Amino acid sequence: MSTTVLGTRTGTRRIPSRRVSRLTDLAARWGFVTPAAILLIATLAYPIGYTLYISFAAINLGTFSPDEWVGWDNYLTVFEDDRFWDSLWVTFVYLVFALPLQMFLGFLSAFLINADWKGRGVVRAAFIIPMVIAPVIAGGIWRMLLDPLWGIANYLLGIVGLGPIEWLADPFWAMFTIILIDTWRWTPFITLIASAALLSLPRDVFEAAAIDGANWWTTLWRVAMPLLVPVIAATFVVRWLGAVKMFDIALAATHGGPGRATSVVNLFIYEEAFRSLKFAESAAMSLIVLVITMVLTAIFLRGTRMLEERN
């Protein structure tokens, strides 16, 4: 019976016109895209749109909603606030030191764990641990480790005649600590990406380099690095986007102090929004940071493309 039906269907089927085919194709594409688009609009476009809206409004704390259009007032207030500029500077310092350090250590670790040595599987697995610990817990644990009274860090330094260091109470060391914790957390992420990239590199190129008598440095610098440039650039952009929004570690470890030494911009925005309930000004600050981030990201992406084209 089924054969008959099939035969009948086959017999009566018409070749669809190009127009119908195109429409079907379009519908299928939109069918796949629509759920994701709706999700994105709900979770991204709407909040950004609302943030933009309240950044030009005054929030009535009685109704907890925007009730007056104030134009650029919130932005002017933010631009006049020295604490905002301080927090941008602190974020800049943190990024300038943390990102290159994490990139360097991440790729270095990847080279090391990709070499053939016993126990590298265990090390590779252990690398994931910092990434799965909640940042607030990580900050708290590091706070205990670095405590001058009962922390192990100063105890160990004391054994070799160093310290004590006021890790969290001195502005320099507090920033050092934030960079240290962030590097401990995120270097494994870079290592994992770099490790996968290294494994995907074509073996024949390395074999050719070996036949040509290249030593390990030449192989690394002249062969591996050029091949890895796109991965390094992409990793940098991904990590940059993650690092620029960091605030949880600063919140847990130093509360942004001492003074304003570790008050990164997102911590400052968080405090202004959720402690002072200055949602309108915080929205303005968030959008300023968003614009800065987008501009810098565009520059990085352009640079990445240029590097890829050069190679």
Partner 1 sequence: MTQATRISTGTSRRRLLGTALALPAVMLGRTAQGQAGGGLGTAESPISIRMLANSSYSNLWQSAMVPEFNKHFPHIKVQIDGVPYNEQLAKTMLDLTGAKPTYDFYTVDDPWVPQVAQTGHLLDLKKDAAAWTAADFDWNDFNSAPLAASEWKGGQFGVPVRSNMLLMFYNRTHFSKAGLPAPTPKLTWTEFRAQMPKLVQNLGGSGPANAWAISTYFTRDTLTPTIWQAILNAHGGELVDGNGKPIFANDVGQLALQTHIDLLQWAPPGAKAHGFTESLQAFRQGQTAVMFQWGSVFRGTAVDTGSTTLKTEEVGIQVMPVGSARAGTHRGIWNGCVSAKTPNQRAAWAFWQWLSSRQGEAFASDVVGSFPARKSTLASNPASAWLKPVFTTLQEAYEVAAAGRMWRPRSAKSDQAQQILADETARAFSGDVKVAEALDSASRKIARLRL
CA pair distance 283, 279, nearest whole angstrom: 6
Q: How far is the CB of 271 from partner 1 (least distance, A)?
A: 6
Q: How far is the CB of 171 from partner 1 (least distance, A)?
A: 6
Phi then psi for residue 55, to 5 deg, are: -70, -15
- Residue among 170 and 231 whose Cβ is closer to partner 1: 170
**Near partner 1 by CB under 8 A, which window of 33-41, 101-109, 267-275, 292-300?**
267-275
Among 5, 149, 159, 160, binds partner 1 (CB under 8 A): 149
The DSSP code sequence of 7-23 is: HHHHHH--PPPHHHHHH
Q: SS3 for 178?
A: helix
Task: Find the farthest-apart pair of alpha carbons in the chain and give their distance in angstroms, rounded.
Answer: 92
- Residue among 11 and 71 whose Cβ is closer to partner 1: 71
- Residue among 8 and 65 whose Cβ is closer to partner 1: 65
- Residue among 47 and 202 whose Cβ is closer to partner 1: 47
> Binding marks (x or -) toward partner 1, 54..73, rule CB under 8 A?
-------xxxxx--------
Q: Which of residues 220-259 bind partner 1 (CB under 8 A)?
A: 254-259
Contact criterion met (CB below 8 Å) for 252 and 138: yes
Among 186, 198, 232, 272, binds partner 1 (CB under 8 A): 272
**Near partner 1 by CB under 8 A, which window of 26-34, 49-57, 127-135, 146-154?**
146-154
Give the number of residues written for the chain. Answer: 311
Q: How many Å separate Cα 307 from the centre of its chain?
A: 21
The residue with tokens 């190009």 is: 18
Distance set, CA 27 to CA 13, 19, 39 (Å): 21, 12, 18
Q: Name beta bridge partners: 69.
A: 57
**Near partner 1 by CB under 8 A, which window of 21-29, 103-111, 162-170, 182-190?**
162-170
- Residue among 226 and 259 whose Cβ is closer to partner 1: 259
Q: How far is the CB of 187 from partner 1 (least distance, A)?
A: 25
Q: SS3 for 61?
A: coil
Q: Which of 95, 129, 127 is nearest to 247 (CA)?
A: 95
Where do contacts with partner 1 occur on this chain (CB under 8 A)?
61-65, 83, 147-150, 164, 166-171, 174, 254-261, 263, 271-272, 274-278
